[in-house]
Structure 1
Amino acid sequence: MKKRSKNIESIYPLSPMQEGMLFHTLYSPESSAYFDQLSGTLHGELNTNAFEQAWQQVVNRHAVLRTLFIWEKGKKPVQVVRKNVKLPWTTHDWQHLTPAVRDERLELFLEEDRKKGFVLNQAPLMRCSLIQLSDNTHQFTLSLHHLLTDGWSTPILLKEVWSFYAALCQGQHLHLPPLRPYRDYIAWLQQQDKTAAEHFWKERLQSFTMPTALRVEKNTQSESENHPEQQVQLSVATTAQLQTFAKQHHVTLNTLVQGAWALLLSRYSGEPDVVFGVTVSGRAIDLDGIDTMLGMFINTLPMRVEVQPDTLLLPWLQQLHALHLEQEAYAYTPLVEIQQWSDVPAGIPLFNNILVFENYPEDTSENKPNNTLQISDFRVIDQTNYPLTVTAEPDAKFCIRIEYDNEVFDDTTITRLLGHVQTLLEGIVTHPQRRLSELPLLTKTEYQQVVVDWNNTKADYPLDMCLHQLFEAQVTQTPEAIAVVFEEQQLTYRELNSKANQIAYYLRRVGIARNQFVGILKERGIDFLAAMLGILKAGGAFLPIDPSYPNERVRYMVTDSQIQILITRRTLFDKLANDLEEGNYLRHLLCFDGEKGELGKIYQFYNGTALANEPKNNPTHVNESTDIAYMLYTSGSTGLPKGTMVRHNGAVNHIYAEFDELAFHQNTAFLQSAPSSSDISVWQFLAPLLIGGRTVIVDFETVCDSVKLFKIIKSQQATLIELVPVVMQGVLDQVAQWPPSERALPALEWAMVTGEAVSAPLVNQWLSTYPKIKLVNAYGPTEAADDICQAVFDKPLPKEQINVPIGKPLANLSIYVLEPQQQLLPIGVYGEICVAGVGVGAGYWRNEEKTRASFVNNPYADGPYSNVIYRTGDLGRWLPDGSLEFIGRLDHQVKIRGFRIELGEIEAALGQSPFVKENAVVVHEDESTGKQLVAFCVPEPEQVIDKTELRGFLTERLPDYMIPSAFVTLEAMPLTPNGKLDRRALSTLSVSHD
C-alpha cells in the first residue's frame, strides 16, 4: 500500500455526473453503458512508434487520463490520480485477411473489446489498439471509460495527439502550455449555492409527477440486449434553412431540436406537459481555461416544456430558448438531487429519454495528422444508461442519431420516429407562423399510407337505395323462401313483406311524416321485424325500445324522442302508461294484442285484428337513401341516454360490406341474438333479407343459456353467429365438456365476436375448439352504422400477444387515428379512433352541442361521403400491417398518483393468467385511500385465484403503479341488458384493499 501511495498525485471527490455513472456501472457491470470507443482507418505512411509515444505523452500530460476510482461502503467515492501509468497498447497484423473477413473480424474485435470493459479501480481506464491492414493502412481504436472525459474533450485530445506525433516524426520535443487540472473544476462545484438551485428546480418541476412516455410498443422479438443506432441526415438546403432561421429569430439550433423533440413527445404521449433529459456541456461557467480542459464536465438535466396546441410556434421557440438560458445558471446541479426535489415518486426516473446536442468546438482541419496521413470511417460508439438517446450533430448536413435499447424499441419504430423528427424540423422552418397543433408529424410516405393506401376502400354498392327497397327487390326474387324463423314460427319473404306492408299502410293512414320516429316497445320476434320494415316502408324511422329497460329509461326515451306513434303489446304498455309524463307527444298506439279499453280515451288505438284489413301490396316509396332509417339510444356521459341517428345508406353500406367480407349467400342463416336496443341487432335482423338468406331470432333467455343457444345454432344450421365475448365464452366452456361429435357445428361458417374487447385467450380457445370456423373480431360504434373494421382469424394468436387487432376499414369507410387537434398520429402511437365515410350517421337527436363535438369536419376528405369525421372516443393505434388495435375508452384512462393508466392494458395482462377467465379493472375512490385500482376476476372452472400469485404475475408484466391494490373474486360479471360488462355496478361494490 505504501509502495502504491508513492505513485499517487492527488485525490479528490467525483463530480455529480461521475457519481451517477459510477453507480450505474457498478449496478450493471455487464452493461456497456458509458464505455466509449473511437475507431477509424488511417491511410498513408504511419510511424507506429511515434504514434504510440504521442498517445503516451498525452496520458502523461493529463491527470484525468491517469485516474482511477475508489469506493467503499458508507463513504463517498473518490478519484485518485496516479503520477505515472503505462497506456495499454496492442498491435495486430491482418494483412493476410480478405476485406470481407477483415470487416467481419473487426466488428467482432470491437464487440469483444467493449465486453472487456474496465476495472474502475485500476488506471488507466483507457487502452489503444492498432491493426495493420496493408503497408499503408491501419485500423486504430481508442477505448476509454466515460467517467474520464466527455465529448467536448475528444477534439482537444486528438489535436494534442497529432501535435505530439508531428513533433516526434521530426525528432523534435514539443512543449505545450500547461492546462488547468480537473480538480479545479471539482473545487468550483463544491463552492456552488445549493439553496438557490433547490429553489429553482423545485419551482421548475412543481406538480410534474410522472415521466413522459413515448407509449410505443415494447419489442418482444429481441433475444439479446443491444443498443443499436439509426440516423437521418437532413439535406444541405434544409440544414442551411435551419441555420438561417435560428439566426434570424435569435434562437439556437439546439432550441429548434429541443422544440421538435418536445412536440414529438407531446404527440406520442398525448400530454401537453412533457419532460425530457438534455445534456449540457457544463463549461458555461466562470472558470478560466475550462474550454481547453479535459474531463467530465457534462451534466444531464430535465427540460420541462409546455406544448399547448394553440400556441404560436415562433414565440414558443423563443420562450424555449429563454428557458434553456435560465437553466444554465443551475446546470451544475446533480440530477439525483433534482430528482429528490421533484414530485416524481422515488425510484421512478424523471425522464426516460435524453437529447444531446453536440456543439463541440471542433476544428476538423486541426484534428488531421498531416498531409500524408488521412483518416476515414471515423466513428464513435458511446452508450448511455437511458432506453433512448437522441443526438443532434450540426454539420453541413444536419444529422439526427438515435441510440436505443432494443429490449424497449424495435427498429421500425425508431426508423419512423427519426422520420417524424425530420418532418417537424422541416415544418418549423417552413411554417414559422403556424400554431403548434398545425405542424405536421408524419412523413409524406406515412401520410400516403395511413390516409390513402390503408383507406383505399371504395366499393360499388347500391347506396342510392333504402333498406326496404332492397328487401322488396329480394322478395321479388325469392318470394317463397323462408325469410325469418322464431321458435316454432316462420314466414316466407312474401308473408313477411305483406305483414310489413299492412303496418306501413296503417302508419300512412295516421299521418306519419317522412323521417318521423316510430317507437317499437316489444320483445324481439317476427312481429318486431315486421314493425321495423313497416316503419321504413311508410317513410319513417324506427326506434327500438327494449321492454327489459326500467320504466324510467323507457319513459325518458318515449318523451325525449317525441314519438307520436308506438308499436307495442297491450300488457307491456300497461306497465308504462302511468309513468308517462304529461306533455309527451304520444298519440297513436298499435298493439298486436288486446282491446283498447280505457286507453282508447287517451290514444288512438289500433290492434292486430284491425291491422289484418290493411292492404298487403307495397306502398309507394317516399324516402331518399340519405334519410334516417333508425335511432338507437346509447349511454350518455351525463347519465341520460342520447339518441343516435343512422341513415339508410350507412346501414346499406355496412350490410353490403359484410356480404363481401363474410361471403353471404342465399343459404346464409344468421342468428339474431343481440338485444333490439343495440346496433348489432339491426344488421342481424336485416342482412339475410337483402340477399335471400334466413334470419333466425333467438330470445334473451336462450342467449343466456349456453346449452339452449348451442342447440339453436346447430338445429337451425346457422352459418353465421355474432356474440358478445361473455356469451361466446359461455358456449365454449359448455361444449368443452362434450365429445367432438356433440359439439360439432358443420353448418357454421363464421363466428363473430363484438360489443367489447375480445381477449387473445378467447380467440385461441375458439380456434382450438373449431379450427375450421373462422373467428371475426368486429369493431364499430352505433354512430357509424355498426362495424367499421374487423379482423379475421383462422389460426391461434401467439401466446405472448396481449391485444387482439380489430382489423382494417370496411368498404367505403376511412379510419384515422388522431390526437385532440385532429392531427394524424403515426403507426404504433395511441390516439382516438375516428371514422369518415358513408356509414357516419346524422348525429345526436336534439343534442347539437354533443353532435358538434363528436361529428367534425374532415380535413382529409377525399370523397362525396367523407366530409364528416365521427370521433369514437375509443383509444387505438395503427399496426404496421395496416390493421388497427383497440385498447380501451378514452374515458377509461385514469390518472392515479400522477400516472396515466389505461385500464384496458391491465385487463389485457390479467387475461393472460391461466387462472382468470374474465376480469375488469375499475377505480375506487374514498376519502381514506384516495384513488385505487381494483381488479374484479372470475376464475377459470375449478380454479382458485390466489391474490398474491396474481399480483406477482402482473408485476412481471406491468409497472408497479399499474398493479391493482385489491383483487376481488366474482362468480360472474354483472352485465347490462345488452350483455355488456356493467362497469357502474362494479364501481358500487364494496372492496377491502389488500
Structure 2
Amino acid sequence: MSLIHGFARAVRENPDGAAVRTADRTVSYREFDKLSQMFADDLRAEIPPGGFVGIEASKGLGAITAMIGALRARRPFVFLDSRDSVASNAEKVALLGVRLLARSREDGEAYLTDVPEAWRAADADAARGPLDGEDELCYAIHTSGSTGEPKCVLVRPAPLAAVVRDHVEQLSVGPQSRTLQFARLTFDGCMTEILWTLTAGACLVVLDEARLAPGAELQETLERFGITHLKTTPFALTATEPSRAMRLRHVINGGGACRSAVVAKWSEVAALHNAYGATETTVCNLLTGPLDPARCRAGVPLGDIVGDCTYHLRDLDEGTAPAETGDAVRRGEIVITGPAVAAGYLTAQGVRPFGPAGDGTEYRTGDVAELRDGDLYFVERLDHQVKLRGYRLDLGEIENTVCQAESVVEAVLTVESHDGSAAAGGDALVCYYLGDADPRDLRRHLEAVLDPYKVPSVLERVEALPYTPNGKVDRESLRGSRNLGKDAVATPAQQVLTLVGRLTGIGDAGPDDNFYALGGDSASTLLLVAKLRELGWLDAGVRDVLRAKDLRALTDQLPQRSV
C-alpha cells in the first residue's frame, strides 16, 4: 500500500479523529484532508512533474500539511531551514532547482511563495530544472556532513512506504496512539514518525523545539500531551527521566548507539526498541522488538529487517562475504541491499547511484557490526577506528564495554595528546563517562575484561556530554574540554598529584596511590618525569617512576633532589 493510500484510509476510517495536535489546536482527519488537498492542487498547478518544492522547516501544522500535500501531488520536496547558512540553502535550492517555498499561515494552511532572493542563483538559467529520466522521487535530504561534506540524497516513495508499514505493525500504531514529532524536519528521522502516525489514523503532536529539549522540558511534554509513541536520540533518552505519569507504550532509540542503562531505565515505563538505518537506505533498516534489559547487559542488538531490504557483512580485509545466522561471531561492515537503497546522491553532474558499480544495488554504510548468535550489534564506524601504539582500536567496542560496568550510563572515547596540546595525533586513549562509577573501580573492571592495550589511559567522569544539533556526541568539544595547563597549587607535591589526576582522570589521586594502578602508561610517565624535573629534580628519570611504590615515594624525594 502506498503512503497516500494509507493516509486516505485513515481519513476514511477516522474522519473525526485527531490528526495533528499543536500547543493550542487540534485538527481532525477530515479538516487535515482538506488542507493537504488544497495544497496538493496548488502544487500541481505551479510545479511540473519531477520538480522539487521547498518546505520551510519550522515546527507547526503548515509544514506537515505541505509535506502530505506534496506526497498527494506526487511532487518531491526538500525541507529548508532558515537557521542554516544562506550559502547552504542557496546551494540546495540551485542543485534541486527549487523555485517555490511552502510556508505556513497562522491557521495552519500552507501556501506557496518564491524562495528568498538571497537563496536564488545569480544566474537563474543555471538552476536545475525537473529531474527528467528519474524514477518517481519522494524527497531530497542532505546528510549532516559528520563523515565528510554534506550530500544530497534522493529517496523514492515505495521503499519509504514499506518502512512505514512495518513500523505501524511492530509498534501497534492506531487511532488511540499519539506520536511526538521530535526530529528536526531536516533530519530524516522525521519521515517515519510523521508517516507511521498519519497512515494509521493516529494523532501527531507538533510542538515548538523549546518543549522538546532533553531533560525536564521533554519529560513535562511527554506527560502533558499523553504521548504514547516516541522516537528519539540516545542523548534525549539519557538526559530525560521517565515517570509513571507518562502514557508511553513504545519508545524507539535512533540515531546512535543504545546503551544497556537506557534500556533498563525506559523499559520500566514502555516497550523500548532500538532502530538502525542510514539516510542513503531510506531512514530505517533494522528494528528490534521490545528489549529485555537482562539480555542487553553485554550490548543492545540492532534488530530485524524492516522495509524492503536485506543486508550482509562485508569482510573488513578480504572483500564481501554474507553474514549467516549460524556464525558464532562475525565482524564486518554493514552493506544494505535491495529497493530500500536510495536513488543516489544528486551532484552538479547529475545523479550518482550507489554501489561499487554505480548500479544502485547496494550501499556500504561505513558501520562496523558484529553478528553474535544470530543478533547484530553495532561496533563502530570505520572512520572512527584509530591506530594507537601499533594497535587498531574500535572505539565503539571499548565504549560499550565501559557502559557494561555498574553505574556507568554513557561513555565516549577519544585519542588525545597526554599534555593537552593541539598537535596532530595523540598518545592517550581518553574515556569520558557519565555515571557514579568510581574511576578506580572502573579501571579494575576494565583491566579484568579488556586486553591491556584497550584499557583507556584516562578515565574522566563528566557531568554532561556535549552534543551536536543532530544529537550526536561532539567529540571535538570533548577534546577541547581537557586542558592540562599550568597548576596553580601551593606545593610541589600537590602539583605532582594534580598532574597525575589529570593524566589518569583520577581527580582525587593521593600520595598512597601507585601511578600505574591509576592508569599511568609510557606516554604519561614521560610527562610526569618532565614535571619532576620542572620542580627541581633535574636528574629524574623513567626508572624512578617505575620503581616508586606510590606517589609519596616520588613527592617525598622532591625536597632532597631539587636544586
> What TM-score results when the alignment is normalised by the length of structure 2?
0.75
Report Cα offsets for 1:766-795 as digits up to 9, x if no partner: 22x32xx22111111122222211222353
Report Cα offsets for 1:728-768 as digits up to 9, x if no partner: 12222x64xxxxxxx243x432111111000112112222x
Q: Within the alignment, does 1:494 sit opposite 2:40 as a pair?
A: no
Q: 1:670 to 1:647 in 2, by over 3 A?
A: same
1-side partners of 2:209 and 2:123: how far apart?
A: 33
Aligned partner of 2:332 in structure 1 is 831
Aligned partner of 2:430 in structure 1 is 935
Which amino acid is the alignment partner of residue 937 of structure 1? Y
Aligned partner of 2:301 in structure 1 is 805
Q: Within the alignment, does 1:752 sit opposite 2:252 as a pair?
A: yes
1-side partners of 2:336 and 2:77: how far apart?
A: 24
Q: Within the alignment, does 1:702 sit opposite 2:211 as a pair?
A: yes
- Corresponding residue to 1:901 among 393, 399, 402: 393
Would you say the 8 A contact 1:806–1:884 is kept in 2?
yes
Report Cα offsets for 1:847-899 as digits up to 9, x if no partner: 779945646589xxxxxxxx81221111113232x331111211111112221
Would you say the 8 A contact 2:430–2:459 is kept in 1?
yes
State the secondary structure of the residue aligned to 1:973: coil
Q: 1:709 to 1:847 in 2, by over 3 A?
A: same
- Corresponding residue to 2:164 among 649, 655, 659: 655
Would you say the 8 A contact 2:262–2:409 is kept in 1?
no
Instruction: Calculate percent identity across the aligned residue pairs.
Output: 27
1-side partners of 2:218 and 2:416: how far apart?
A: 36
CA displacement at 1:714 relative to structure 2:
3.1
Aligned partner of 1:782 in structure 2 is 279
CA displacement at 1:692 relative to structure 2:
1.3
CA displacement at 1:930 relative to structure 2:
3.8
Which amino acid is the alignment partner of residue 721 of structure 1? L
Report Cα offsets for 1:334-384 as digits up to 9, x if no partner: xxxxxxxxxxxxxxxxxxxxxxxxxxxxxxxxxxxxxxxxxxxxxxxxxxx
Which amino acid is the alignment partner of residue 366 of structure 2? G
State the secondary structure of the residue aligned to 1:659: helix
1-side partners of 2:411 and 2:481: how far apart?
A: 15
CA displacement at 1:494 relative to structure 2:
2.1
Aligned partner of 1:450 in structure 2 is none
CA displacement at 1:474 relative to structure 2:
2.8
1-side partners of 2:15 and 2:228: how far apart?
A: 21
Q: Within the alignment, does 1:960 sit opposite 2:452 as a pair?
A: yes
Q: Within the alignment, does 1:712 sit opposite 2:221 as a pair?
A: yes
CA displacement at 1:555 relative to structure 2:
3.8
2-side partners of 1:533 and 1:958: how far apart?
A: 51
CA displacement at 1:903 relative to structure 2:
0.7
Would you say the 8 A contact 1:919–1:935 is kept in 2?
no
Which amino acid is the alignment partner of residue 503 of structure 1? F
Q: Within the alignment, does 1:582 sit opposite 2:118 as a pair?
A: no
* Superposition map of 1:130-149 within 5 A: none
Which amino acid is the alignment partner of residue 907 of structure 1? E
2-side partners of 1:549 and 1:502: how far apart?
A: 29
Aligned partner of 1:630 in structure 2 is 139
Q: 1:558 to 1:965 in 2, by over 3 A?
A: farther
User: How much is the aligned-residue C-alpha RMSD, in angstroms?
Assistant: 3.3
- Corresponding residue to 1:724 among 226, 233, 241: 233
2-side partners of 1:845 and 1:568: how far apart?
A: 25
Aligned partner of 2:346 in structure 1 is 845
Report Cα offsets for 1:658-693 as digits up to 9, x if no partner: 122222222222221111112210121122211211
Which amino acid is the alignment partner of residue 983 of structure 1? R
Which amino acid is the alignment partner of residue 345 of structure 2? Y
* Superposition map of 1:72-151 within 5 A: none
Aligned partner of 2:180 in structure 1 is 671
Q: Within the alignment, does 1:869 sit opposite 2:362 as a pair?
A: yes
Aligned partner of 1:92 in structure 2 is none
Greater radius of gyration (CA): 1
Would you say the 8 A contact 2:259–2:410 is kept in 1?
no
Would you say the 8 A contact 1:932–1:964 is kept in 2?
no
* Superposition map of 1:99-498 within 5 A: 462=1, 465=2, 467-498=3-34
Which amino acid is the alignment partner of residue 582 of structure 1? A
1-side partners of 2:384 and 2:214: how far apart?
A: 30
Which amino acid is the alignment partner of residue 963 of structure 1? V
Q: 1:524 to 1:576 in 2, by over 3 A?
A: same
Range moving further from structure 2, 555-564 or 755-764? 555-564
Aligned partner of 2:52 in structure 1 is 517
Which amino acid is the alignment partner of residue 753 of structure 1? N
Report Cα offsets for 1:213-266 as digits up to 9, x if no partner: xxxxxxxxxxxxxxxxxxxxxxxxxxxxxxxxxxxxxxxxxxxxxxxxxxxxxx
Would you say the 8 A contact 1:562–1:585 is kept in 2?
no
Which amino acid is the alignment partner of residue 662 of structure 1? L
* Superposition map of 1:970-989 within 5 A: 970-989=462-481
2-side partners of 1:585 and 1:713: how far apart?
A: 48
CA displacement at 1:583 relative to structure 2:
3.5
Which amino acid is the alignment partner of residue 320 of structure 2? Q
Q: 1:505 to 1:987 in 2, by over 3 A?
A: farther
Q: 1:916 to 1:551 in 2, by over 3 A?
A: farther
2-side partners of 1:723 and 1:834: how far apart?
A: 24
State the secondary structure of the residue aligned to 2:84: coil
1-side partners of 2:450 and 2:185: how far apart?
A: 39
Aligned partner of 2:151 in structure 1 is 642
CA displacement at 1:816 relative to structure 2:
1.1
Range moving further from structure 2, 512-521 or 636-645? 636-645
2-side partners of 1:980 and 1:763: how far apart?
A: 18
2-side partners of 1:717 and 1:920: how far apart?
A: 33
Gaps of 5+ in 1: 1-461, 588-622, 736-742, 859-866
2-side partners of 1:725 and 1:927: how far apart?
A: 29
Would you say the 8 A contact 2:386–2:395 is kept in 1?
yes
Report Cα offsets for 1:881-934 as digits up to 9, x if no partner: x33111121111111222111010121122133443322112336686842345
1-side partners of 2:166 and 2:371: how far apart?
A: 21
1-side partners of 2:481 and 2:352: how far apart?
A: 34
Aligned partner of 2:524 in structure 1 is none
Which amino acid is the alignment partner of residue 29 of structure 2? Y
Would you say the 8 A contact 2:86–2:118 is kept in 1?
no
